[in-house]
Structure 1
């Protein structure tokens, strides 16, 4: 097989696959059902046309019968009048009409037989079309149900993926919460044990803070004593003396 033959086969396979994917079973069956109904209508029109032809042949047969009866009566009249020659001529015409009448009878019989066959065909085809219609609706319902099931599975699959991402995010959040809570509990334990204090978070030195606290208390006491002396002596210019705290940390 040459290159171009393989290429044509490949393109044909791809084309068939694309058509298969694009094909909708419901639409195909509806189209087939429409065509079958059109066939039934064509058969019914053919039956109607044959029935019309049968009716025309019957009218022609009736007309021939009337002519035969009329010529038969004319032959009797001619014979009664002694005109045997006219009677013979009338009977000869009658024979020609009888021949036409027999041919008409055969045509009517053929048309009736054909009509009966078409009527039976129309019944059979109509029954098959009705059966196909029932099967078509069942297949369409099953196909629609399967399509809905596929879409549901696809939706659930997508939802499962999203839920997996949500669960992972929730797990990460819980881990962060547990880590933060553990750190908070550890800090609480250190505070209770006195390892760290409030000033630790501010970056101050423990010794400097204690010395500043002592100096502040002493200043308060000195100011208090100075106020007492001022109230007792009445000296308005007496100023309380303050103790300065440490200016640098002790190493």
Structure 2
């Protein structure tokens, strides 16, 4: 097979595939039915033309028969007039007309046989057309029912082209949503870990960590200072109290000592909120008053 033959074969196969996909059985059946009706109409037209031709021959035959009678009368008249030559001429014309009549009769018979055959074919074709019409309508109804059932089945199972497009759209939406959720979670994680620098700040991660350490150190130093001050005051109070007790050890009874004057430090430190801390400070101030 040459290149051109292969190309022609491929093109024909492609075109045939496209036509098969585009073919609608209902339209094809209707078209075939119309073609058969056109063929029946052509047969009827042929019968009409054949009958017309036969009628013309029959008319011509009748005229020739009339001429035969005329020539026969002429021959008789010539014989009565003792004109044998005229009688001979009349009989010769009569013979010619009779030969023509015989030819016409043969032609008319042939046309009649053709007409009978065409009428028989016409009747057979008409019956076939009626049968085809009934079958066509049945096939169209079956095709429509099968097509509707197929659409319903495809819609229910999601196997149709349109449902496939819908399924793909839903799948793409789910993938896009999952991607956006994962990206949002990643951004939150990176933000919490400090991997991203604040867009509104000119400090990088190292600056922020150093500042945090410095702040923590300042708070610890201030706390140590506060503790030292509190420890110094308590030491002075305890020294003063010890001197007083030494001087009046024999005169003062233990029952006369005011228990509120003795401060007992807490055993453990707990973390409290700002509101709780403020409340405790207010209570201490009230007790001192």
Aligned pair 1:146/2:160, yes or no?
no
Would the alpha carbon gap of residues 246 and 82 (structure 1) be closer, same or farther in structure 2, given more than 3 Å must change?
farther
Q: In structure 2, what is the equivalent of residue 117 of structure 1?
A: 117
Deviations 1:17-58 (A, max 9, x none): 322111111111111111111111111101000110111011
Q: In structure 1, what is the equivalent of residue 248 of structure 2?
A: none
Would the alpha carbon gap of residues 148 and 72 (structure 1) be closer, same or farther in structure 2, given more than 3 Å must change?
same
Unaligned runs of 5+ in 1: 166-202, 212-243
Query: Matches of 1:65 and 1:3 in 2, distance apart?
Result: 71
Q: In structure 2, what is the equivalent of residue 57 of structure 1?
A: 57
Deviations 1:182-237 (A, max 9, x none): xxxxxxxxxxxxxxxxxxxxx987xx99x9xxxxxxxxxxxxxxxxxxxxxxxxxx
Would the alpha carbon gap of residues 12 and 57 (structure 1) be closer, same or farther in structure 2, given more than 3 Å must change?
closer
Query: Matches of 1:5 and 1:96 in 2, distance apart?
Result: 64
Q: In structure 2, what is the equivalent of residue 171 of structure 1?
A: none
Larger radius of gyration: 2
What's the secondary structure of 2:130's corresponding residue? Answer: helix
Please state how far the C-alpha of 1:87 moved relative to its aligned partner: 1.4
Please state how far the C-alpha of 1:156 moved relative to its aligned partner: 2.1
Normalising to structure 1: TM-score of the pair? Answer: 0.60
Q: In structure 2, what is the equivalent of residue 28 of structure 1?
A: 28
Normalising to structure 2: TM-score of the pair? Answer: 0.53
What's the secondary structure of 1:82's corresponding residue? Answer: coil
Moved segments of 4+, more than 3 Å: 1-15, 244-248
Query: Matches of 1:5 and 1:77 in 2, distance apart?
Result: 83
Please state how far the C-alpha of 1:152 moved relative to its aligned partner: 1.0
Instruction: Report how many aligned residue pairs link the two structures.
Output: 176
Q: In structure 1, what is the equivalent of residue 82 of structure 2?
A: 82
Deviations 1:133-188 (A, max 9, x none): 111111111111100001111222349x99xx9xxxxxxxxxxxxxxxxxxxxxxx
Unaligned runs of 5+ in 2: 171-273
Would the alpha carbon gap of residues 13 and 110 (structure 1) be closer, same or farther in structure 2, given more than 3 Å must change?
closer
Query: Matches of 1:71 and 1:4 in 2, distance apart?
Result: 74
Aligned pair 1:156/2:156, yes or no?
yes
Query: Matches of 2:285 and 2:103 in 1, distance apart?
Result: 147
Query: Matches of 2:65 and 2:120 in 1, distance apart?
Result: 31
Q: Over aligned residue pairs, what C-alpha RMSD do you find?
A: 3.3
**1:127-146 equivalent positions in 2, closer than 5 A:** 127-146=127-146
Query: Matches of 1:79 and 1:18 in 2, distance apart?
Result: 86
The structure, 1 or 2, with the larger RCO (C-alpha pairs under 8 Å, 6+ apart) is 1
Query: Matches of 1:124 and 1:5 in 2, distance apart?
Result: 42
Query: Matches of 1:59 and 1:12 in 2, distance apart?
Result: 56
Aligned pair 1:48/2:9, yes or no?
no
Please state how far the C-alpha of 1:113 moved relative to its aligned partner: 0.7
Give the stretch that moved more between structures: 132-141 or 42-51.
132-141
